[in-house]
Amino acid sequence: MPTSASSAAHALADVTASDSTLRRFLHGLPGVDAVGLEARAASLGTRSIKTTAKAYAIDLAISMVDLTTLEGADTPGKVRALGAKAVRPDPTDRTTPATAAVCVYPDMVAVAKEAVAGSDVKVASVATAFPAGRASLSVKLADVREAVAAGADEIDMVIDRGAFLAGRYLKVYDEITAVKEACGTDARLKVIFETGELSTYDNIRRASWLGMLAGADFIKTSTGKVAVNATPANTLLMLEAVRDFRAQTGVQVGVKPAGGIRTSKDAVKFLVLVNETAGPDWLDGHWFRFGASSLLNDLLMQRQKLATGRYSGPDYVTVD
Amino acid sequence: MSDRLSVFKTYKLYVGGKFPRSESGRVYEVTDANGDWLANAPLSSRKDARDAVVAARKAFGAWSGATAYNRGQILYRIAEMLEGRREQFVREVADAEGLSEAQAAAQVDAAIDRWVWYAGWTDKIAQVVGGGNPVAGPFFNLSSPEPTGVVAVVAPQESSFLGLVSVIAPVIATGNTAVFVAAERSPLPALSLGEVLATSDLPGGVVNVLSGRPAEIAAPLAAHQDVNAIDLAGADDVLAKELEIAAADNLKRVLRPQPVDDWTATPGIDRMTAFLETKTVWHPTGSLGASGSSY
């Protein structure tokens, strides 16, 4: 463990000097104990969170939701409805916190921006030929610049999984730094690894470090468009990575699991992972997000249940 | 022949087409009419009730959208499956209610016949309580009975099997989905019925079987915002009143307990119409021609 943050940052500066140093560094990361990782994630999922702790967790989870609509069929009306819901998730209860952000395709950023105007809700936009990422760098950068110009506060980029799996780590690194530059100083960059396509836990650990070295503000599990999305195990792995990265460099990076988190129970399990792995510093909408759409309704129904003592139903939340 | 080890049956709930234990992990002892131990039954908690409602809601779209003819076939299939396990149910009903084998057999036969009776009603009830209405204007005016939704049922306490079938069959025959709380002291026939339903082409979640204390499980069901109706058949006066008050919150349909002296009597259609809502559709026929008719 290095003595100070600055010297550590210096030490890591060398690793991106060339493709071979970067590969040596990433392949030098300790291998992941898959069985241990899954067992740890599962055991943390058994914590019992009740009553006031549950109420706190639900409100915290709501304030961490990136309310997402990424469909070919998105209309301006749907994006406006989503924006209204993000600002005031439960119109019948004004104590409900707003969500962290809405997440849309780049061409819907302007509409979303208008819909959340006057609130603290951010507008995140996927870019870089989401979800496949199979386009030339110039196309990806144009995609990002347009989204930023339209007012996006956050950019969710996908890495070039093809290059990553082929071992061309520097290409991935250069792409992330180029996108980071295109984001400018205002927009935060979330880097999506699509963990379901990286096939091994070792690769997820390498991708996490690669993304953080390249200047990601957030590392994000997946697009939500493939079969395997956020799981407790791969999120735990990424939380360990951001914890270790901050210990070495002093730079804090956020984590965003996305896809497949649908129930309050799941969300609370992830919050336990965050608290027990990265620590309470990450228990904030600025450092941890849920990429989700149906999760919010379940959180609201649970919130109503806690407030009234009666089980709520889908008739009492919006149909999105 | 060598001595075999006894194979005791673990009675489980039937929720969403699966056979879970109670989420709470609790069980309670079920005894026969003489007080001798029969088996342990799951003691459901309110979370089991919640899960059952979620399952019932999920199943509602497909079940209410299935053709009445198809629902009739499936109800008949339940009767067929019950017939094949008749001996088991005779034994369970005899133990539960302290009946002789002949008396219990009569109950089981009546229950099987009841499924057949309601199977026949699925595609006829719409003709009896719905139809075309004559109106003073160029409209077709049609009334059609529609299922209410998710129905919670407190099963009759005294008739553990025939009474149960008599309250469940009309609920699902008309396209509702059901969550029922089995008779507290004699839940075993109801829990075994779950196994029959699972093998009868009945989609998972259409009927959900809970066992335990009605006072504990029925209260959250009555207050549940996603339950559309409640049948209080097996609730005593005090509980029925409590549940009716809780049910008022989201304007559930409530079927109050009605004294039934003889469950074997032909039931009539009241239990079906209790959980049907009449939808009336006005459809323009276009302007009337000189002959007074547009067609």
Residue B3: predicted pLDDT: 87
A220 is catalytic: yes
Please list the pLDDT of chain A residue by residue as tens digits (320 residues): 444 444 455 568 789 889 999 999 999 999 999 999 999 999 999 999 999 999 999 999 999 999 999 999 999 999 999 999 999 999 999 999 999 999 999 999 999 999 999 999 999 999 999 999 999 999 999 999 999 999 999 999 999 999 999 999 999 999 999 999 999 998 999 999 999 999 999 999 999 999 999 999 999 999 999 999 999 999 999 999 999 999 999 999 999 999 999 999 999 999 999 999 999 999 999 999 999 999 999 999 999 999 999 999 998 999 87
Kindly report the CA angle at A267 between A205 and A199, in degrees rounded to 5?
Answer: 30
> In A, which residues are within 8 Å of B247 by CB distance?
none
Q: What is the mean pLDDT of chain B?
A: 94
Residue A5: predicted pLDDT: 45
Whether the complex's predicted ipTM surpasses the cut of 0.90:
no
Two tokens at A140?
């990806």
- Does residue B292 carry a pLDDT above 90? no
Q: How many domains does chain B have?
A: 1
Residue B291: predicted pLDDT: 61
Two tokens at B245?
């008050």
Residue A10: predicted pLDDT: 58
Task: Give a yes or no: residue B2 inside a domain.
Answer: no
Please give the residue range of the domain that contains residue B257: 37-284
A107 is catalytic: no
Residue in chain A nearest B47 by alpha carbon: A311
DSSP string, A100-165: SEEEE-GGGHHHHHHHTTTSS-EEEEEESSTTT--S-HHHHHHHHHHHHHTT-SEEEEE--HHHHH
pLDDT tens per residue across span B26-35: 999 999 989 9
> In A, which residues are within 8 Å of B220 by CB distance?
310-311
Q: B28, B41 in Cβ contact below 8 A? A: yes
Please report which confidence band the pLDDT of residue B241 belongs to, taking 50, 70 and 90 as the band edges.
very high
Test B225 with A309 for CB contact under 8 angstroms: no
Residue B1: predicted pLDDT: 61
Q: A66, A291 in Cβ contact below 8 A? A: yes
Test B224 with A311 for CB contact under 8 angstroms: yes
Task: Give a yes or no: residue B23 inside a domain.
Answer: no
Please name the residues in contact with A122: beta carbons below 8 A apart, sequence gap of 6 or more: A100, A101, A102, A116, A153, A154
Tell me the CATH number at B146: 3.40.605.10
Angstroms from A55 CA to nearest CA on chain B: 17
CA distance B284 to B282: 7
State how far the alpha carbon of B83 is from the alpha carbons of A156, B132, B170, B195, B287, in Å. 60, 39, 19, 13, 56
> In B, which residues are within 8 Å of A304 by CB distance?
225
Give the global pTM: 0.89
Task: Give a yes or no: residue B241 inside a domain.
Answer: yes
Catalytic residue among A256, A266, A269, A298: A256
> In A, which residues are within 8 Å of B225 by CB distance?
304, 310-313, 315-316
Catalytic residue among A66, A90, A156, A160: A156
Residue B137: predicted pLDDT: 85
| Mean pLDDT of the region B260-272 | 93
CA distance A288 to A271: 9
**Chain A residues near any Cβ of chain B (below 8 Å):** 304, 309-316
A113 is catalytic: no
Test B223 with A310 for CB contact under 8 angstroms: yes
Angstroms from A286 CA to nearest CA on chain B: 33
b/e map A48-74, b = 16+ CB within 10 Å: ebeeeebeebbbbbbbbbbbbbbeeeb
Interface test with B, best of A311, A315, A316, A319 (most B CBs within 10 A): A311
Test A312 with B57 for CB contact under 8 angstroms: no
Task: Give a yes or no: residue B155 inside a domain.
Answer: yes
Interface test with A, best of B24, B47, B225 (most A CBs within 10 A): B225
pLDDT tens per residue across span A5-42: 444 555 687 898 899 999 999 999 999 999 999 999 99
Residue A3: predicted pLDDT: 40
Residue A4: predicted pLDDT: 43
Residue in chain B nearest A304 by alpha carbon: B225
| Mean pLDDT of the region B120-147 | 93
Angstroms from B225 CA to nearest CA on chain A: 5
Task: Give a yes or no: residue B12 inside a domain.
Answer: no
Burial grade of B1 (CB within 10 A; 0-12, 13-18, 19 or more): exposed
Test B226 with A310 for CB contact under 8 angstroms: no
Task: Give a yes or no: residue B58 inside a domain.
Answer: yes
pLDDT tens per residue across span A27-36: 999 999 999 9
Task: Give a yes or no: residue B289 inside a domain.
Answer: no
Task: Give a yes or no: residue B239 inside a domain.
Answer: yes
Sheet holding B139-147, edge to edge: B131-132, B139-147, B276-284
